[in-house]
Structure 1
Amino acid sequence: MRIAVTGADGFIGRYLLPILLAQGHQVAAVSRRAGHLPQPGLSWLQADLLDAGQIRQAMAEAEAECLIHLAWFVEHGRFWTAAENFAWCDATAGLLAAFNEFGGKRAVLAGTCAEYDWNYGYCVEGKTPTVPATLYGKCKDAARQFAEHFCRDNGIEWVWGRIFTPYGPGEPAGRFVPSVLSAMGRGDVLKCSHGRQFRDFLHASDVAAAFAHLAANTPATGVFNIASGEPMRLADIVAICAGLFEAVPAVEFGAVPVAEFDPLMLVGCADKLAATGWAARISIRDGLADYRIKINELKGSE
């Protein structure tokens, strides 16, 4: 299958490309940056997806049967409230229109758990209300509504994958897991929140595998949680990370205030995705242990 991937050099995209290539697909990877080297089965298309003309040109060159749209504004610390969310909502609409114009048949788009009403804690597709608390969530949900109606009206199979809490090498250093591992690796006192929040952690390679599966390995359509379905307290994640070090790291819980909109529990039901034949492969303990090794390797190469 010929598959176009936006956000191909982003956090999840870098895990996704090797999976698609290993499955034998022809991949057109879309990136704003130049200088990527092609390889068998993989071509790179340079395009700014905020430019309608460049979107159309990229889809014309891709000639893709399937689209996996991962690109969005996700700058750590800014994306929740950034005005760029509006532009990416519009860009998603323009991308789908161009994909349709050049013969696209199946669109798989990245959504977010931020679309749900966080007062419910445990989120189930089609049951938990979509009442976003943030601008990011509102714009993602608006893009989802457009995608659903546009694809149905134009005979395109559509899938919307709501990502919960991905982690793994390559994520922004300021996020929870890398900040915990880095502080412990330096021997610093780890200052964090109370740690009682429950989250749904899924390794980035499993997130990427879920998108590859939804794109090419199942005819299922609609909204799917990209989640483990397993609640993990942040304090327990800290404890697992601490167990990876010989010396017991110092941790100061409650030193960092919790954001006003931060829910105590945010976990996704993964039953619908599992029913299509997908399953996570990396346990949280194995994923964190590998993550620590990768961080050490990066330090050794500096």
Structure 2
Amino acid sequence: MKIAVTGANGYIGRYVLPLLVARGHEVLAISNRVDQTDEAGLRWLEADLLDTEACRRVMIENRSEGLLHLAWYAEHGKFWTAPENFAWMQTTSCLLEAFRDAGGRRAVLAGTCAEYDWSYGYCVEDKTPLAPRSIYGKCKDETRQFAEAFCQANGIGFAWARIFFPYGPGEPEARLLPSVLRSLCLGQPVKCSHGRQFRDFIHVSDAAAALTHLLVTSQKNGAFNIASGEPMRLGALVQLCANHFPEALPIEFGAVPVAADDPPMLVGSAEKLLESGWCPQISVDEGIARYVKHYVDLLRG
């Protein structure tokens, strides 16, 4: 199958591409910046998808049967309230219309756990109410509603992937684990919140495999949590990292204040995804061990 992947240069996109190529698909990697060279099964296409004409042109000229739409505004700390969220709603509409006109057959779009009502803590597709608090979450949810109706009306298979908390090499440096690992590697104090919050962490490789599965293996439609289904305290995760550094200073829990609206628990049920045939491959212990080795090697050059 010929598959177009937007956000191909992004954190998750870089993990998805080799999985699709390994399965024998012809992959069109779309990004607004391209400095990679093509290889067998993988062709890079440079396009600013926020430009309506460029968005339509890249889809029509490079017709694909499958679409994995990962591109969105994602600058750490800013995406929650950024006006760019509204622009990406419009871009997604343009993208899907062009995908339909080019003969597209199945689309998987990236959503977010921020669509849920966080007061419920444990989030189950089609059961937990959707009540996004942020502009980001609201725009994602509105996009899902449009995209689902559009695909149903046009005979396009559709899955919406609500991504929880992927971790692993390549994530933005300002996020929790990279900042913790950097401090540990440099022998600096690690300052954290109280660490009692429960979150759902999934290795980025497993998240990429889940997205690939929904696109090319499963024919099931609807919303799916991209989650492990396993609650883990933030403090336990940070301590797991610290355990790989015998000389590390004690973690300074409580040194960073917790936002008033920070949910004590945010975990996704993985049952629906598991029932579709996907299975995670990397435990948190193994994932953190790999991540620590990668980060240490990276800092050592």
What TM-score, normalized by structure 2, do the two folds share? Answer: 0.98
- Which position in structure 2 is the counterpart of 1:238? 238
Tell me by how many angstroms 1:259 deviates. Answer: 2.0
Does residue 10 of structure 1 match 2:10?
Answer: yes
Q: What's 1:42 paired with? A: 42
Partner AA of 2:90 in structure 1: D
Q: Does 1:152 pair with 2:164?
A: no
Whole-angstrom CA distance in 2 between matches of 1:62 and 1:205: 27
1:230–1:267 CA contact under 8 A, matched in 2: yes
Does the CA contact (< 8 Å) of 2:239 and 2:251 recur in 1? no
How far residue 36 of structure 1 moved from its aligned partner, in angstroms, is: 2.0
Residue 4 of structure 1 and its aligned partner are, at CA, apart by: 0.3
Counterpart residue number, 1:100: 100
Partner of 2:183: 183
Residue matched to 1:205: 205
TM-fit CA distance, 1:242: 1.1
Aligned to 1:140: 140
The CA RMSD over aligned residues, in Å, is 0.8
Q: What are structure 1's unaligned runs of at least 5 residues?
A: none
* Cα contact 1:68–1:109 (8 A) shared by 2: yes
Question: Which consecutive unaligned segments of at least 5 residues does structure 2 have?
Answer: none
Amino acid at match of 1:46: E
Please say if 1:67 is aligned against 2:61: no
Shift of 1:93: 0.9
* Counterpart check, 1:267 vs 2:295: no
- What amino acid sits opposite 2:126 in the alignment? G
Q: Secondary structure at the match of 1:192?
A: coil
Counterpart residue type for residue 288 of structure 1: I
**Aligned-partner Cα distance in 2 for 1:284–1:195:** 17
The answer as to whether partners of 1:188 and 1:250 remain within 8 angstroms in 2 is no
Per-residue CA distance 1:221-279 (angstroms, 9 max, x = gap): 11000000000000100111111112133211111111232111000000000001101
Runs of 4+ in 1 over 2 A off after TM superposition: none
For 2:293 and 2:16, the matched residues in 1 are separated by 21
1:67-94 deviations in Å (ceiling 9; x for gaps): 0000000100101111111111111111
Give the Cα–Cα distance (whole angstroms) in 2 for the partners of residues 70 and 61 of structure 1. Answer: 20
Establish whether residue 300 from structure 1 lines up as the match of residue 284 from structure 2.
no
Q: Which residue of 1 aligns with 2:282?
A: 282
Give the C-alpha shift of residue 182 in structure 1: 1.1
> Aligned partners of 1:258 and 1:4: how far apart in 2?
40
Partner Cα distance (2:137, 2:42) in 1 = 32
AA at the equivalent of 1:84: E
Q: Deviations over 1:157-206 (max 9, x none)?
A: 10000000000100001101111111111111111111010000001110
AA paired with 1:42?
L
Q: TM-score, structure 1 length as denominator?
A: 0.98
Report the Cα distance in structure 2 between the residues aligned to 1:107 and 1:224, rounded to whole angstroms.
13
Q: Using the alignment, how far apart are the partners of 1:189 and 1:199 within structure 2?
A: 23
Distance 2:237 2:37 in 1: 37
Q: Distance in 2 between matches of 1:256 and 1:246?
A: 23
For the Cα contact (< 8 Å) 2:164–2:200, is it kept in 1? yes
Alignment correspondent of 1:228 = 228
C-alpha distance in structure 1 between counterparts of 2:256 and 2:61, whole Å: 48
Range with bigger deviation, 253-262 or 64-73: 253-262
Q: Distance in 2 between matches of 1:174 and 1:168?
A: 13
Amino acid at match of 1:80: W
Contact 1:193 1:255 in 2 (8 A): yes
2:30/2:47 contact within 8 Å kept: yes
Which SS does the other structure have where 1:200 is aligned? strand
Identity of aligned residues (%): 58
Q: What do residues 18-53 of structure 1 show as CA deviations (whole Å, max 9, x unaligned)?
A: 000111110000000133200001111111110110
Structure 1 residue identity aligned to 2:252: E
The alpha-carbon deviation at position 217 of structure 1 amounts to 0.6
User: Would the aligned equivalents of 1:225 and 1:270 in 2 still touch at CA under 8 Å?
Assistant: yes
* Structure 1 contact 192–254 (Cα < 8 Å) conserved: yes
Q: 2:127 maps to which residue?
A: 127
Aligned to 1:162: 162
Q: Deviations over 1:65-124 (max 9, x none)?
A: 000000000100101111111111111111111101110010100000000000000000
Q: How many residues align?
A: 301
Give the partner amino acid of 1:202: I
Aligned 8 A contact 1:183 1:190 in 2: yes
